[in-house]
Structure 1
Amino acid sequence: MLRAENINVYYDQIHAIKDVSFDIKEGELVALIGANGAGKTTVLRAISGLQRPRRGKIIYKDNDISDMEAHRLVKLGISHSPEGRQIFSRLTVLENLLIGAFIKNKQSNIKGDIDYIYSLFPVLKDREKLPAGALSGGEQQMLSIGRSLMSSPKLLLLDEPSLGLAPLLVEKIFEVIQTLKKNNITILLVEQNAYQALEIADRAYVLESGVVKLHGAARDLLNNSEVKKAYLGG
């Protein structure tokens, strides 16, 4: 479905991503793990059109999308739930969700999409008319994921969905991610909680200082001594 071919991404003169290559097959859940500053978020920003690669290519369904604008990528089926949630705090929960459906026409079943989000995150229905800024951190994360689903994506980019959340909420978020995979959404998951990410992923890539250091089946990486020492506390 998607592959990156030797992409290089810069922030001015800072070389953040260095000849990174990876692929994601349709229906897979692929995890991208690594320490803070490894470049994980930059990879997602490159895929979603927010940070263009200076060199290399990103291919989505046989189309080169390396220079494509972000809004066009959403129309192609790529959606991004960013790090830090980035919800519209003064708008209501419902208004935030409706913004996620901006690419859809009036004939689309937007109400059905909202009902689906509420089935995943029932608390959002209870908070529907509240300003998003009044939600707890966990509820805001649910809203961010819900908003990204409103465009009916084929490929979902999730950036640190469990960051800063209480254990029970982390469990809920990961349950929903697994449900989305069962519903045939392909997922690229960036996650600090390497153990839980590898537990649910099909495959994974380990990013270190902007370079892919390891990749393989998630189960194999769970048992890899180097990964255990660096990311799994053992």
Structure 2
Amino acid sequence: MLSVQNINVYYDKIHALKDISFEVEQGELVAILGANGAGKTTTLRALSGLLKPTSGSIQYLGEDISKQEAHKIVSLGISHSPEGRQIFSRLSVYENLQIGAYIRKKSDNIHKEIEWIYSLFPVLKERESLPAGALSGGEQQMLAIGRALMSKPKLVLLDEPSLGLAPLLVEKIFEVIQTLKDNKITVLLVEQNAYEALKIADRAYVLETGRVKLHGEAKDLLANQEVQKAYLGG
């Protein structure tokens, strides 16, 4: 589904991604792990068109999207739930979800999609008329994921969905990610909680200072002593 080949991304003169390559098969849940500053968020921003690689290619379903604008990439079936949630705080929960469906045709029944989001996150149904800014951090994260799903994506990019959340909410977020996988939605997950990510991922890539340092089956990386020492407290 997704083939990234030797992409390089700069922030002004800072070389953030250095010849990164990886692949995601349809239906897979692939995790990208690494410390702060490793290039994880930059990778997702490049995939969703928010940053443009200076070289290399991003092939999605056989089409090179490395120069495409972000709104076009959404219409192709890639949706991004960004780090820091970035919900529209003055709009209601319901309005935020509606915005997630902006590329959908007027004839589409988005109400059915909203009800599905509410089945994943029942608390959003309870809060649907409240301004999104009034939600707790965990509820805002649920809303950000729900908004990303409203475009009916084929590939979902999730950036640090459990960051800063209480353990019970982290558990809920990973349950939902597992549900997406069970529903055959392809997921590329950036996550600092390496243990939880590797428990549900099929494969994973470990970034270090803008390069792919390790990659392999998630179960093998869970058992890898280098990964355990660096990311799993072992």
Pairwise same-fold verdict (TM > 0.5): yes
State the distance in 2 between where 1:105 and 1:201 align: 33
State the distance in 2 between where 1:162 and 1:185 align: 19
Q: Are 1:125 and 2:143 an aligned pair? A: no
Q: Which runs of 5+ in 2 are unaligned?
A: none
Per-residue displacement from partner, 1:52-103 (whole Å, max 9, x unpaired)?
1001000000000000000001100000000000000000000000000000
Give 1:233 deviation, angstroms. 0.3
State the distance in 1 between where 2:225 and 2:182 align: 30
Give 1:27 deviation, angstroms. 0.2
Structure 1 length normalisation: TM-score?
Answer: 1.00
State the distance in 2 between where 1:150 and 1:97 align: 7
Q: Which residue of 1 aligns with 2:70?
A: 70
Give 1:140 deviation, angstroms. 0.1
Q: Which runs of 5+ in 1 are unaligned?
A: none
Structure 2 length normalisation: TM-score?
Answer: 1.00
The one-letter code sitting in structure 1 at the alignment partner of 2:160 is E
Please state whether the residue corresponding to 1:96 is helix, strand or coil: helix
State the distance in 1 between where 2:120 and 2:3 align: 29
Mapping of residues 86-97 of structure 1, within 5 Å? 86-97=86-97
The one-letter code sitting in structure 2 at the alignment partner of 1:158 is L
Q: Which residue of 2 aligns with 1:184?
A: 184
The one-letter code sitting in structure 2 at the alignment partner of 1:199 is K
Mapping of residues 114-153 of structure 1, within 5 Å? 114-153=114-153
Per-residue displacement from partner, 1:170-221 (whole Å, max 9, x unpaired)?
0000000000011110000000000000000000000000000000000000
Mapping of residues 213-228 of structure 1, within 5 Å? 213-228=213-228
Mapping of residues 7-18 of structure 1, within 5 Å? 7-18=7-18
RMSD (Å), alpha carbons: 0.3
State the distance in 2 between where 1:131 and 1:217 align: 41
Q: Which residue of 2 aligns with 1:83?
A: 83
The one-letter code sitting in structure 1 at the alignment partner of 2:157 is L
Aligned residues: 234
The one-letter code sitting in structure 2 at the alignment partner of 1:65 is I
The one-letter code sitting in structure 1 at the alignment partner of 2:38 is A
Q: Which residue of 1 aligns with 2:171?
A: 171
Q: Which residue of 2 aligns with 1:104?
A: 104
